[in-house]
Amino acid sequence: MSGPLSRNRRPRFGRRARSRRWVGRLLGGLLAIIGLGGLAWASGFVWFYQQIEHERRVLPMPHAGGIVVLTGGPDRVKRGLELLMGGAAPRLLISGAGPGTHLGDFTPRDGIDAVSKAASISLGHRATTTRGNARETARWVRRHHIQSVIVVTADYHMVRALAELHRHLPGVRLIADPVRRLPRNGALDARQWKLVAAEYTKYLLVRCGLGGFAAHHIEGHL
């Protein structure tokens, strides 16, 4: 009796052993892929942060066909108005101003009298995401036949903003004018590191052609 039972059991045990080995190899492969993906993400993150660290305003600022401010943070609109009043470009778009917003809602707060330039200032009310900013800017650029644009947004947001704008404005020269929001030389607190990490992840989605997913599922208005 022991002989037949042994012969019957050995195949089952063999199948179980092979199954365990297969599962082990599968888990090992998955861990290796996750590890390589994490290493690639970390390497790219270092590059991304270096781009933010090295961002500087162009001095002297070259003359451009227009200025676009991507709203959502302090000092952006003020900087755009300063550029307009200083003659850096003849037109200004404040993109993502929000429904029902008027120019007077910005100028008293920023301490700049832009009444004399009101005819040169456009407010974009539709955009609620960076991709929306790019589309709104593209419509404005085509309407006014602009060939070069000064882009004003926060330093941490500039890399992704330029990526989206380049996708919607091929052939248009983009001049970055970042508003400094982060301390230099890595002196960031936990909240700021989290902000940069989230921004880098959104940038990767844009580069992979998934900017729409970033806009509609994980992006708060910047």
Predicted local distance difference test score (pLDDT) of residue 5: 47
Predicted local distance difference test score (pLDDT) of residue 221: 40
Predicted local distance difference test score (pLDDT) of residue 222: 42
- For the chain, give me the number of helices (H) and strands (E)? 7, 5
Number of C-beta neighbours around residue 161 at 10 A: 28
Predicted local distance difference test score (pLDDT) of residue 219: 56
Q: What is d(CA 66, CA 68) in angstroms, rounded to the nearest whole number?
A: 7
Number of domains in the chain: 1
Instruction: Give a yes or no: residue 71 inside a domain.
Output: yes
Instruction: Give a yes or no: residue 42 inside a domain.
Output: no
Predicted local distance difference test score (pLDDT) of residue 186: 78
Predicted local distance difference test score (pLDDT) of residue 132: 93
Instruction: Give a yes or no: residue 31 inside a domain.
Output: no
Instruction: Give a yes or no: residue 132 inside a domain.
Output: yes
For tokens 């943070």, name the residue: 73
One-letter identity of residue 217: H
Predicted local distance difference test score (pLDDT) of residue 59: 86
Instruction: Give a yes or no: residue 130 inside a domain.
Output: yes
At 207, which CATH number?
3.40.50
Predicted local distance difference test score (pLDDT) of residue 108: 76
Instruction: Give a yes or no: residue 183 inside a domain.
Output: yes
> Are the C-beta atoms of 189 and 159 separated by less than 8 Å?
no
pLDDT in tens, the chain (222 residues): 455 545 555 556 667 766 777 777 777 777 777 777 777 888 889 999 999 988 888 889 999 999 999 998 879 999 999 999 999 999 999 999 988 888 888 887 777 878 889 999 999 998 999 999 999 999 999 999 999 999 999 999 999 999 999 999 999 999 999 999 898 887 899 999 999 999 999 999 888 877 665 555 555 444
Domain coverage including residue 107: 66-218
Residues counted in the chain:
222
Number of C-beta neighbours around residue 44 at 10 A: 15
Predicted local distance difference test score (pLDDT) of residue 11: 59
H-assigned helices in 116-169: 130-144, 155-168
Predicted local distance difference test score (pLDDT) of residue 187: 86
Q: What is d(CA 138, CA 157) in angstroms, rounded to the nearest whole number?
A: 18
Strand boundaries in 96-219, DSSP class E: 121-124, 148-154, 173-179
Instruction: Give a yes or no: residue 33 inside a domain.
Output: no
Instruction: Give a yes or no: residue 206 inside a domain.
Output: yes
